[in-house]
């Protein structure tokens, strides 16, 4: 409270200074009141604290896609606690994670950083992670709010999505996490939703987040996601990151003088920043705990054992015997893919290579690279032949396969779901000479496995973090049974993904979420489409029997689902049981065949039986009614399905639910018929707009005027020769760069696609609006002379931006309230 209270004594300018960061990673400070700045740092797979141009060494844990496959609520919390302690050791007050965007498309470059295609699973695990971190007195930043399911053109992409899909799919996970864990901060995404930037969206930040869900924390922009600080402030964005310095401070002060912003709006957001500083300061008062990295590395190994998903295990090929003669094939065994690139990348403390881990156990091994990691697009016949020779002489083969670095990278999406050619060819060749091939797969997303029928076993590890190597032998030799289950569906082909034609932005940067609520298994199950591996699927070295389902009602109307699970195999293992709900009656609105509403991970000794008891509250039966503008329950009989996966339902029972009066609800069969059996391919623009509630075509830009504004990006400059010239230069840089391809592409894509006004604001005032007009003038084909003139005219503002901090520091505290 101490710092928060001082807000009343501050000048308006001091208050405004809290609305933008102090630098890239700190909140502002004010010496006059001895208010410290606090540090925020990236997560979510570990601590990524910047130190100069590097980041501190930290533990690289399994990525979110892997943690989600554990379906382990306790593990998510414990993981959060570890991260909280690590933040305290490094004096970091807010960890920028978790990310819970819904995996709408298997092509999203950041899928590895996100949990699931299902909001209940994502929101529940995120709430546990957040509670874990925050129990240590360290905050989190739940991100990226909202409907941020693509990386291509991420700064400008406009998610065109109907409110029901928003509420039930894209916002639901955030809602669960906010209601159950109150993250200290929420990070507002780069993209727009239905024409409005998330950072300027009052409906999202004020109505939904604060008024409906009761969010008490602070909203922060994703880095450089503010185009117009005043508009953002008015819509409810508290903190802009990173710092835009006096550029922002001047703009907000001017808007106040003009009566466009009220003192109350400024004070409210400043107070929230100070409240964050207060909360963070409590923990910072204690001495920093010593970070035992060795112990945390060992914890990373244990966490890694809980995540992998056994996709196939014909004739019990896995586990291998410890004395087997094993060929390890694939350069990834020595150089594993344990994490993705971008803001989640960790300067890992100690990466265990799987090959070394097997070697250290004294296994009977042979080895071949099989492919060249520097050139995965081409198959190297010599390497393949060598691998085939090694495979022929071994009893069993462990074959390491991964996606390329480019497929697990922030900043751009993938083009397809394919694994690199060199990997696929190698699997074919090795499987042709050895019938005991177990593939160890490391990807960030669902992929196509064209050779799945040819190999004996497939263990999907996702990106398992630095403990991958040491965790793997325990799983391969059966000291621990793989128990993870898929948090996303693996379709048979990219063409099977709902809305496949709308997975990339169109020429207007719109991304039509034509499929509405039919994302992932909600689509595949309702459309009755065959899949490669369903949502919730995963094998075990043991076997489980489900029995004795009973449903009870509590006084508050909740349904208590009770059933038994017995381990009928001969080794200890965990089973993940899933509870789905589906309406059995015809409805006026379209509904998914089934939806995940609860789950439990249960550990069982051989022969042991445990009773699982899970509670379904009213919200398990709700849908969002856009006509009534509220959540609603239809009266009728619902099927409660208890399953080992979304397609392996073991027990069912019906329950009658008395719902709301829905006589005012529209009949969707009239104007959205194809949604009722999820026939998304047949949904026309008109039918989609019916569901959307507005006609998108009316809002499309006037194509007769191709001149850019400061809200456009360099990539938009396709009409003028000068614009094309700049774009070509950037492409040349991309090809000539000496840096790794994924890193270079992240930078060049960002430069090309970020709106000009964000380049201006992130320059800390060194570039002014007039200079921005100069850039726009040039990109529009204007003369070099005019561009130079505009730059010259902008110089006084730049000079002021540089001089201001020094002058203001000197006069600190002498100002009066404006």
- Residue 258's Cβ-count burial label (10 Å; 0-12, 13-18, 19+) is exposed
In the complex with ligand BGC, the residue whose CB is nearer, 388 or 754, is: 754
Nearer to ligand BGC by Cβ, of 217 and 484: the residue is 217
Compute the least distance from the CB of residue 411 to ligand BGC, in Å: 8
319: cis peptide before it, omega within 30°?
yes
Is 222 in the active site? yes
Smallest distance from ligand BGC to CB 336, Å = 24
Nearest distance in Å: CB 222, ligand BGC: 5
Query: In angstroms, what is the minimal distance from the CB of 343 to ligand BGC?
Result: 4
Smallest gap from residue 100 Cβ to ligand BGC (A): 12
Nearer to ligand BGC, 48 or 470 (CB): 48
CB 249 within 8 A of CB 280: no
Q: Which of 85, 118, 162, 222 is catalytic?
A: 222
Interaxial angle between packed helices 769-779 and 721-736, expressed in degrees from 0 to 180 and rounded to the nearest 10: 100
DSSP E strand boundaries for 75-215: 94-96, 139-145, 158-160, 185-188, 192-193, 196-197
Structure tokens at 557: 């109307």
Closer to ligand BGC at the Cβ: 224 or 443? 224
Are the C-beta atoms of residues 336 and 442 closer than 8 Å to each other?
yes
Q: How far is the CB of 225 from ligand BGC (least distance, A)?
A: 8
- Comparing CA positions, the residue from 383, 402, 491, 407 lying closest to residue 442 is 402
- CA-based nearest residue to 438, from 395, 378, 384: 395
Please tell me the distance from the alpha carbon of residue 562 to that of residue 546, in angstroms, as a whole number. Answer: 11
Considering only the C-alpha atoms of the chain, give the largest distance between any 2 of them, rounded to a whole number of Å.
Answer: 84
Whose Cβ is closer to ligand BGC: residue 143's or residue 229's? 143
Contact 534, 486 (CB under 8 A): yes
* CB distance 321 to 85 below 8 Å: no
Cα–chain center distance at 810: 43
Which residue is closest to ligand BGC by CB? Answer: 343
Beta strand 630-633 with 57-58 is unpaired
Comparing CB distances to ligand BGC, the nearer of 118 and 222 is 222
Find how far residue 382's CA is from the centre of its chain.
Answer: 39
Cis link prior to 656 (omega < 30° from 0)? no
Least distance in Å: CB of 750 to ligand BGC? 8
Which residues contact ligand BGC (rule: CB under 6 A)?
A: 42, 96, 143, 222-223, 343
- Whichever of 92 and 357 has its CB closer to ligand BGC, that residue is 92
Compare residues 223 and 468 and give the one whose CB is closer to ligand BGC: 223
**Shortest distance (Å) from residue 104 CB to ligand BGC:** 17
> Least CB distance from residue 346 to ligand BGC, whole Å?
13
Q: Least distance in Å: CB of 278 to ligand BGC?
A: 23
Q: Which two tokens stand for residue 8?
A: 């009343």
Coil, strand or helix at 590: coil
- 4 vs 222 by CB, closer to ligand BGC: 222
C-alpha dist (Å) from residue 487 to 119, 129, 398, 576: 10, 16, 25, 11
- Phi first, then psi: give them for residue 269, nearest 5 degrees: -70, -40
What is the gyration radius of the CA atoms in the chain, in angstroms?
A: 27
Angle at the Cα of 553 (from 552 to 554), degrees rounded to 5? Answer: 125
Residue 231, CB half-sphere, CA atoms under 13 Å: how many? Answer: 10
**DSSP assignment of 263-321, as one string?**
HHHHHHHHHHHHHHHHHHHHHHTSPPPP--HHHHHHHHHHHHHHS-EEEEEGGG-PSPP
Of 540 and 750, CB closest to ligand BGC = 750
User: Which tokens belong to 538?
Assistant: 């995963």
Nearer to ligand BGC, 143 or 297 (CB): 143
Nearest residue to 197 (alpha-carbon basis) of 593, 585, 613, 711: 711
**Shortest spacing between CB 83 and ligand BGC, in angstroms:** 14
Give the residues across from 550 on adjacent strands.
562
Catalytic residues: 222
């Amino acid at each position: 409270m101490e710092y928060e209270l001082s807000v009343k004594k501050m000048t308006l300018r001091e208050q405004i200074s809290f609305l933008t960061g102090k630098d890239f990673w700190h909140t502002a400070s004010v010496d006059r009141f001895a208010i410290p700045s606090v540090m925020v740092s990236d997560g979510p797979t570990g601590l990524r604290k910047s130190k100069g141009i590097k980041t501190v060494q930290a533990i690289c844990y399994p990525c979110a896609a892997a943690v989600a496959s554990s379906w382990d609520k306790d593990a998510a919390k414990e993981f959060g606690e570890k991260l909280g302690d690590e933040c305290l050791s490094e004096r970091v007050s807010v960890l920028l994670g978790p990310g819970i965007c819904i995996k709408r498309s298997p092509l999203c470059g950041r899928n590895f950083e996100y949990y699931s295609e299902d909001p209940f699973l994502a929101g529940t695990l995120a709430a546990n992670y957040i509670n874990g971190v925050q129990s240590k007195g360290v905050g989190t930043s739940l991100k990226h709010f909202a409907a941020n399911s693509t990386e291509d053109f991420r700064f400008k992409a406009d998610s065109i999505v109907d409110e029901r899909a928003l509420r039930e799919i894209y916002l639901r996970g955030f809602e669960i996490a906010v209601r159950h864990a109150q993250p200290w901060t929420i990070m507002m995404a780069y993209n727009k939703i239905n024409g409005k930037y998330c950072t300027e969206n009052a409906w999202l930040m004020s109505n939904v987040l604060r008024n409906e869900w009761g969010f008490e924390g602070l909203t922060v922009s994703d880095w450089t996601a503010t185009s117009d600080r005043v508009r953002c402030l008015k819509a409810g964005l508290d903190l802009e990151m990173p710092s835009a310095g006096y550029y922002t401070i001047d703009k907000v002060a001017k808007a106040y003088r003009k009566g466009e912003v009220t003192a109350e709006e400024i004070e409210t957001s400043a107070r929230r920043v100070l409240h964050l500083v207060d909360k963070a300061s409590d923990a910072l008062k204690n001495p920093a705990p010593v970070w035992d990295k060795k112990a945390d590395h060992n914890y990373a190994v244990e966490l890694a054992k809980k995540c992998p998903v056994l996709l196939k295990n014909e004739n019990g090929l896995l586990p291998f015997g410890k004395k087997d003669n094993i060929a390890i094939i694939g350069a990834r065994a020595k150089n594993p893919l344990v994490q993705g690139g971008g803001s989640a990348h960790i300067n890992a403390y100690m990466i265990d290579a799987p090959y070394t881990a097997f070697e250290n156990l004294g296994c009977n091994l042979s080895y071949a690279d099989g492919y060249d990691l520097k050139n995965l697009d081409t198959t190297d016949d010599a390497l393949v032949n060598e691998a085939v020779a090694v495979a022929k002489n071994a009893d069993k083969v462990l074959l390491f396969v991964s996606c390329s670095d480019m497929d697990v990278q922030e900043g751009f999406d993938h083009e397809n779901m394919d694994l690199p050619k060199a990997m696929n060819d190698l699997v074919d060749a090795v499987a042709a000479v050895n019938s005991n091939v177990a593939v160890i797969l490391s990807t960030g997303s669902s992929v196509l496995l064209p050779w799945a029928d040819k190999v004996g076993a497939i263990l999907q590890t996702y990106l398992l973090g630095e403990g991958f190597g040491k965790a793997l032998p325990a799983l391969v030799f059966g000291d621990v049974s793989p128990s993870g289950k898929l948090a996303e569906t693996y379709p048979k082909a990219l063409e099977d993904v709902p809305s496949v034609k709308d997975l990339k932005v169109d020429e207007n940067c719109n991304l039509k979420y034509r499929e509405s609520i039919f994302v992932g298994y909600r689509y595949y199950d309702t459309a009755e489409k065959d899949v490669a591996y369903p949502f919730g699927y995963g094998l075990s070295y043991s076997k489980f029997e489900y029995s004795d389902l009973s449903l009870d009602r509590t006084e508050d109307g909740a349904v208590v689902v009770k059933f038994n699970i017995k381990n009928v195999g001969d080794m200890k293992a965990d089973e993940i049981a899933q509870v789905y709900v589906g309406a059995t009656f015809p409805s006026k609105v379209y509904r998914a065949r089934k939806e995940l509403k609860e789950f439990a991970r249960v550990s069982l000794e051989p022969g042991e039986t445990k009773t699982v008891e899970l509670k379904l509250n009213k919200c398990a039966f709700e849908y969002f009614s856009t006509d009534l503008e509220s959540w609603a329950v239809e009266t009728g009989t619902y099927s409660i399905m208890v399953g080992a996966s979304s397609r392996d339902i073991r027990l069912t029972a019906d329950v009658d639910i008395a719902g709301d009066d829905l006589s005012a609800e529209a009949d969707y069969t009239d104007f959205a018929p194809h949604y009722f059996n999820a026939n998304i391919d047949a949904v026309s623009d008109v039918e989609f707009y019916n569901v959307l509630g507005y006609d998108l075509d009316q809002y499309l830009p006037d194509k007769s005027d191709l001149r850019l504004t400061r809200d456009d990006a360099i990539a938009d400059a396709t009409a003028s020769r000068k614009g094309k010239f700049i774009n070509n230069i950037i492409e040349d840089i991309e090809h000539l760069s000496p840096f790794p391809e994924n890193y270079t592409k992240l930078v060049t894509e960002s430069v090309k696609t970020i709106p000009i006004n964000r380049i201006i604001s992130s320059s800390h005032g060194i570039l002014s609006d007039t200079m921005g007009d100069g850039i726009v003038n040039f990109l529009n084909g204007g003369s070099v002379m005019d561009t130079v003139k505009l730059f010259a005219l902008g110089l006084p503002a730049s000079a002021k931006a540089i001089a201001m901090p020094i002058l203001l520091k000197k006069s600190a505290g002498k100002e009066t309230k404006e």
